[in-house]
Amino acid sequence: MIEAVNLHKVFGSFQAVRDISLSIGAGEVVALLGPNGAGKTTTVRMLGAILKPSSGRATVAGFDIVTHAREVRHVVGLLTEFPGLYMRMRPLEYLAFFGALQGMNKVDCEKRSVALLKQFGLWEAREKRLDSYSKGMKQKVALIRALIHDPPVLYLDEPTTAMDPHSARTVRDAIADLRAARRTILLTTHNLTEAEVLADRIAIVRGGTIVAEGTIPQLTQQLMGTPVWELRLATSSSRAVPLIQDLAPIEEVGEDWLRFRNEDARHINPQIAARLAEHDVPLVSLAELPRSLEDVYLSIVSAQHVDRGTWSQSNGSAEALTPAEATIDEAESEVEEVRG
């Protein structure tokens, strides 16, 4: 549904996006995750045919974002970072305005507005002006605006930024419903929970480029290396260390526990359990240490001030990050130079 190849965007001397390639299938939800200024919004604006790429190309629903910009804008629904509503209007008037600009006829637009307002729980507040709405309600209206023409593709740019937890939850639930309805969604956020809960795939953007991409397990594996397992014993861990060190590299050792890296749990873990049983070492538990998206994300973001060797060593997977790391350093230094 969305295909982007080597997108670049330069504003004067500032390179906002460099070499972003992305492929999103129909019904897929992909989160662009990255700190402020990473280039997420610029990427969305290019894919929404609002900005033209400086180089590279992209298609959305088969339409080229440069040569068929108007068609692209028609198949895309954009939820901007801030709701940006016309506050003196009422929701039905507001939606009628955007429906008309999308080329909808008045009757269809009204029917759909009514249905969406009911679906998002705003029907009771339809007579109130938008300036009297809460933040969450405003963001819902903005989401309805993006959905008014029933687009197959949705871009949600920082949908819960600066919202209180309750409002954010409301909007997140609404997005989950859209996901269930098999819309193609590109979600940009720096909210890790949001990305983890809503996205099928995650692309981490930094310095205007995608530095890592995949599902959460893939990213964890790719960026944090082999999974770490923790063994808890009913005796001193010193008895277990000599028994398993030839099977898996041990990372840390505590009084009655130890941690080791294990790439092939299905084969190695039964062997470890068997050896421990053979030598009467009482086993309490053997479990994989959970690694969250936050660990993955922070490992990338905090990498900027760590030299290459230290980074690779501390994360155990140099080869997975070499190209990304090189690009990040390059990007950072150029941005620093530009900002002078």
Please give the residue ranges that form the binding site for other proteins (CB under 8 A).
11-14, 16, 45, 48, 50-52, 70-71, 73-74, 76, 78, 80-89, 97-98, 100-103, 142, 145, 338-340
Query: In this complex, which beta carbon is closest to other proteins, that of residue 201 or of residue 206?
Result: 206
Please identify which residue in the block is written with the tokens 């009084």.
Answer: 255
Please state the closest distance from residue 264 (CB atom) to other proteins, in A. 48
Q: How far is CA 243 from the centre of its chain?
A: 42
Report the DSSP beta bridge partners of residue 206.
209
Pair of tokens at residue 111? 């029917």
Nearer to other proteins, 156 or 293 (CB): 156
Q: Are 252 and 289 in contact (CB under 8 A)?
A: no
Q: CB-wise, 94 or 297, nearer to other proteins?
A: 94
CA distance 65 to 62: 9
Q: How far apart are CA 340 and CA 338, in angstroms?
A: 5
Contact call for residues 98 and 80 (beta carbons, < 8 A): no
CB distance 268 to 262 below 8 Å: yes
Q: Least distance in Å: CB of 170 to other proteins?
A: 20
CB atoms within 10 A of CB 105: 9
Minimum distance from residue 108 beta carbon to other proteins (Å): 15
Tokens representing 137?
């309600």
Distance separating alpha carbons of residues 42 and 37, to the nearest angstrom: 9
Residue closer to other proteins (CB basis): 74 or 232? 74
Shorter beta-carbon distance to other proteins: residue 130 or 320: 130
Residue 304 Cβ, how far from other proteins at the closest point, in Å?
Answer: 21
Between residues 150 and 263, which has the closer beta carbon with respect to other proteins? 150
- The distance of closest approach from Cβ of residue 145 to other proteins in the complex, given in angstroms and rounded to an integer, is 6
Provide, rounded to whole angstroms, the least separation between the CB of residue 41 and other proteins: 9
